[in-house]
Amino acid sequence: MCASAAFAGVLADLRWLLPSLITVVAVVGTGVLGRRLGWPNVGVAAGQLAVLLVALTALFAGSSAFLGVLPGPAAFGELARLLGGTRELISTGVPPVAAEPPLQALVCLGLGVVALLVDLIAVGIGTPAVTGLVLLCVFAIPASLSDRMLPWWTFALGGAGYALLLASGGHHRRWRRYEEPDRVAHTLFGRTTSVVAGTAGVIAVLAGSVFTGVGTEGRLPGSVPEEFGGTDGIGLQPFTSLRGQLNRDQVVELFRVRGLQQDSYLRAMTLRKFDPRSGWQLDGLTQGVDASAPLPLPEGTTIGRGRPERIEVQPIGYRDPWLPVFGTPVEVSGMGRNWRYDPAAGIVFTQTNQETRPYTQQVIVPDPSPEELRSARGPMPIDPAYVDASGIAPEVADLARRLTENAPTEFDKAVALNRYFTDPANGFRYDLTTAPATGQDALSDFLFRGKRGFCEQYASSMAVLLRSIGIPSRVAVGFTAGYQDGTEQVITTEDAHAWVEAYFPGWGWQTFDPTPLSDGRTALPQFLDTALHPPQAAAPLPGQPQPAPAPGAPVPPAAGAQPDQPDARDVPDQRREPADRTWSVAVLVLIVLLVCAGAASPLAVREIRRGQRLQAITEGRAGAADTAWREVLDEFRDRGYQPRDTHTARQLAERLAKDHDLDATGTDALKQLVKAVEREWYAPTSQADGTLPETLKAITASLQQNAPLDLRSRLFPRSALPPWRTS
């Protein structure tokens, strides 16, 4: 359970803790009961597996079980469905994720199996040190899933738990100075230990290899595997974590930005290939150029005019092979070695797994006017893949033609498509939950029936519509500008976003955003904001003709008409700063403190009892000899000896001195104490024995020298615990 604290680094809340504790206690309790009943190790393990299944059934499939706990076919089906649901949560979530019931069940199953193995190795086989390799597996999974170092206190708890396990028993209790060296070596390096250690090592390596690739962690440019499937056919394969960042319960701070003069999108990557069956994909990424040198203009861009800015970015909770940049990067510094820049894709990336350091960007924020983009003409020196429209459904292409048939220029066509999604009259709605599929392809479902989704669906759809009418397009993935915090912009997981970039000769790739956000996060470039919301001209004098609207501009409502919804620019910023989640850590720390207090209670009881007895003996109170004798017997109980009621004080003293190798001084002092006890029992006098404190001190000193207590016996003194057996 101490090792399971590592899951606090990848799970956002503590809902998994109580079910896990119940599961582990059930497994360990079954082991204790089985061994007290004399079961062999195989029988104990079988009983623990059965109890583990019952515990999982009671916790997660009680409604389908017999009497709420006994598993049957329906309960097995419910558990299988629940555990099967972890695949989507793992593939789309970005740690820390909410501890939903499927993940709770998976964690309980894993910890139950680990508890069984640790119990078998430490108690059944008697080699507790080997359990460290099994417990490393518990750390390996969260460490490989998390995008940053696990909290330090999880390692401290794991180490403390392992130390307690070593101190609680095993062969080391017999490794005293009289143990033969060859016997110790056989125990340490015997066949059983080697087999268990080798198996645990293989499991640890396999677990680390399998789970390292989950999410975006471990994914390097140019190696996008099939597992990065999109969402309903129009997903963003290389950045599946986008969905996880948008719908996670806990908001995580990713960047702090200084020097940003105007809100702008922070681009992490661009996607150029569209496959109707699997969605948008990263494709054609080259080795590019050294990102630490002055950067060339993006491919196909000849006009480098714009607003120069120097921006400082400090990554907080971000670690990825993509280095997000604003606008058109001119120079990037401070991020370390081995970073590359691909001018065609506009991406800064690395092929080595390294920590993202604070970095500085010299960028140009393009500021073309709508008229300049309308007049953009000439060749398009970009890869033909950006206009590949193969596989697009005919009804999708027909929709794009109908929406842009009255737009005279490529720019006006792009504005018309952008407006189609953001105009409330067209019925599109921003929602993290997409509409149910109807059996058609996902793109047609979204455009013609569902009309509900988040930035992934909107950016994907508009880029496809642009290509179907011959305008080069790609999908960009990154973050919006975040919120203001003093002189800094704070970008969190709430700001994960996808938008569209369309190509215009000379000006290069320009930003469009079709997602109908209403929370103030949209950061439209000036040319698009002007085209979507043209300034209203002053009302003409009576008798003057009405001016014609600009090409592609919306027709203003009639006098007295009320708009369906307020303008997006008038919507107040409703975003909130990340909620304080320190309470979850505080609860975990409180639980740990309570557990530690419970574990320390036997030692506290023993020390209080010893102090009271020593004070009574020093003050010469009535019954001081009997008090000293009871203290000596507790010293022997702490060393594993349980006195029998049928033995006299002399018989006990002789056996104790022999079994614990007391020296002559200790043996003589024990005999003197027995005489004092017999006088007090059988011939009591009112005169106090002033030598009792020194006698007791000599006995305890001899015990500490010749029969020292091991760590377990010091932490959990047997004299303060209920007796389990007699000897």
Residue 109's domain comprises 3-212
Whether the predicted pLDDT of 293 surpasses 50:
yes
Q: What is the mean pLDDT of residues 209-216?
A: 40
pLDDT at residue 47, rounded to an integer? 92
- Residue 269: HSE in the Cβ half-sphere, 13 Å Cα cutoff: 24
Which of residues 307, 333, 368 is at a domain's end? 368
Using a pLDDT cut of 70, give the percent of the chain over it: 74
* Same domain, yes or no: 200 and 258: no
Q: What is the mean pLDDT of residues 347-354?
A: 80
- At a CB cut-off of 8 Å and minimum separation 6, what does 179 contact? none
Q: Which residue carries 């000896």 as its tokens?
A: 641
Q: What is the mean pLDDT of residues 398-408?
A: 95
pLDDT at residue 536, rounded to an integer? 64
How many domains in the chain? Answer: 3
Would you say 528 and 499 are in contact if contact means Cβ atoms under 8 Å apart? no
* Same domain, yes or no: 172 and 52: yes
Residue 573 resides in a domain: no
Residue 55 resides in a domain: yes
pLDDT tens across 248-282, in order? 556 788 899 999 988 899 999 899 988 887 778 88
Would you say 278 and 443 are in contact if contact means Cβ atoms under 8 Å apart? no
Whether the predicted pLDDT of 726 surpasses 80:
no
* Same domain, yes or no: 265 and 188: no
Q: What is the mean pLDDT of residues 21-34?
A: 93
Residue 99 resides in a domain: yes
Residue 613 resides in a domain: yes
Q: Which comes out higher in pLDDT, residue 22 or 188?
A: 22
pLDDT at residue 577, rounded to an integer? 44
pLDDT at residue 602, rounded to an integer? 78
Cα 419 to Cα 499: distance, rounded to the nearest angstrom: 14
* Same domain, yes or no: 202 and 341: no
pLDDT at residue 582, rounded to an integer? 45
Angle at Cα 435 formed by Cα 430 and Cα 438, nearest 5°? 150
Cα 22 to Cα 30: distance, rounded to the nearest angstrom: 12
- Residue 617: HSE in the Cβ half-sphere, 13 Å Cα cutoff: 24
Whether the predicted pLDDT of 173 surpasses 70:
no
Would you say 503 and 447 are in contact if contact means Cβ atoms under 8 Å apart? no
pLDDT at residue 21, rounded to an integer? 93
pLDDT at residue 690, rounded to an integer? 81
Instruction: Count Cβ neighbours within 10 Å for each residue of 424-448 and write b for 16 or more, e otherwise.
Output: eeeebebeeebbeeeeebbbbbbbe
Structure-token pair, residue 237: 């394969």
* Same domain, yes or no: 180 and 307: no
Query: For the ranges 37-41, 51-55, 290-294, 519-523, which has the lowest average pLDDT?
Result: 519-523
* Same domain, yes or no: 284 and 349: yes
Cα 39 to Cα 35: distance, rounded to the nearest angstrom: 5
> Which of the residue ranges 8-17, 376-385, 518-527 has the most confident prediction, judged by mean pLDDT?
376-385
Cα 624 to Cα 690: distance, rounded to the nearest angstrom: 10
pLDDT bin (cut points 50, 70, 90) of residue 221 is very low
pLDDT bin (cut points 50, 70, 90) of residue 600 is low
Q: What is the mean pLDDT of residues 188-196?
A: 61
- At a CB cut-off of 8 Å and minimum separation 6, what does 577 contact? 483, 485, 490
* Same domain, yes or no: 158 and 266: no
* Same domain, yes or no: 14 and 154: yes
- At a CB cut-off of 8 Å and minimum separation 6, what does 75 contact? 57, 61, 64, 65, 66
DSSP letter at 317 equals: S
Whether the predicted pLDDT of 178 surpasses 70:
no
Cα 632 to Cα 621: distance, rounded to the nearest angstrom: 17
Q: Output the 3-class SS for 7-26.
A: HHHCECCCCCHHHHHHHHHH
Residue 341 resides in a domain: yes
Backbone dihedral angles phi then psi of residue 437, each to the nearest 5 degrees: -70, 150
pLDDT at residue 341, rounded to an integer? 95
Cα 702 to Cα 558: distance, rounded to the nearest angstrom: 104
Cα 641 to Cα 635: distance, rounded to the nearest angstrom: 9
Q: Which comes out higher in pLDDT, residue 94 or 570?
A: 94
Residues shown for the chain: 727
* Same domain, yes or no: 194 and 312: no
pLDDT at residue 86, rounded to an integer? 73
pLDDT at residue 501, rounded to an integer? 96
> Directed axis angle between helix 664-682 and helix 692-706, to 10°?
140
Which of residues 196, 212, 228 is at a domain's end? 212
Q: What is the mean pLDDT of the chain?
A: 78
Query: For the ranges 157-166, 217-226, 593-602, which has the lowest average pLDDT?
Result: 217-226
DSSP string computed for 63-94: GGSBTTTB--HHHHHHHHHHHHTHHHHHHH--
* Same domain, yes or no: 286 and 171: no
Residue 504, number of CB atoms within 10 A of its CB: 26
Listed in sequence order, the DSSP H helices in 469-581 are: 526-532
Would you say 57 and 70 are in contact if contact means Cβ atoms under 8 Å apart? yes
pLDDT bin (cut points 50, 70, 90) of residue 295 is very high
pLDDT bin (cut points 50, 70, 90) of residue 220 is very low
Would you say 710 and 172 are in contact if contact means Cβ atoms under 8 Å apart? yes
Structure-token pair, residue 258: 């200084």
pLDDT at residue 38, rounded to an integer? 86
Would you say 280 and 324 are in contact if contact means Cβ atoms under 8 Å apart? no
Whether the predicted pLDDT of 414 surpasses 90:
yes
pLDDT tens across 601-641, in order? 777 788 888 888 888 888 888 888 889 888 888 888 888 77
Q: Which helix (H) or strand (E) holds 309?
A: strand 307-315
pLDDT tens across 423-478, in order? 999 999 888 665 444 445 778 888 888 888 888 889 999 999 999 999 999 999 99
pLDDT at residue 547, rounded to an integer? 52
Cα 485 to Cα 481: distance, rounded to the nearest angstrom: 12
Residue 462 resides in a domain: no
* Same domain, yes or no: 185 and 330: no
Q: What is the mean pLDDT of residues 155-163?
A: 83
Whether the predicted pLDDT of 580 surpasses 50:
no
* Same domain, yes or no: 50 and 192: yes
Q: What is the mean pLDDT of residues 487-494?
A: 90
Which of residues 350, 368, 386 is at a domain's end? 368
Residue 418 resides in a domain: no
Q: What is the mean pLDDT of residues 118-129?
A: 85
Residue 650 resides in a domain: yes
Would you say 486 and 433 are in contact if contact means Cβ atoms under 8 Å apart? no
- At a CB cut-off of 8 Å and minimum separation 6, what does 258 contact? 311, 312, 314, 487, 488, 489
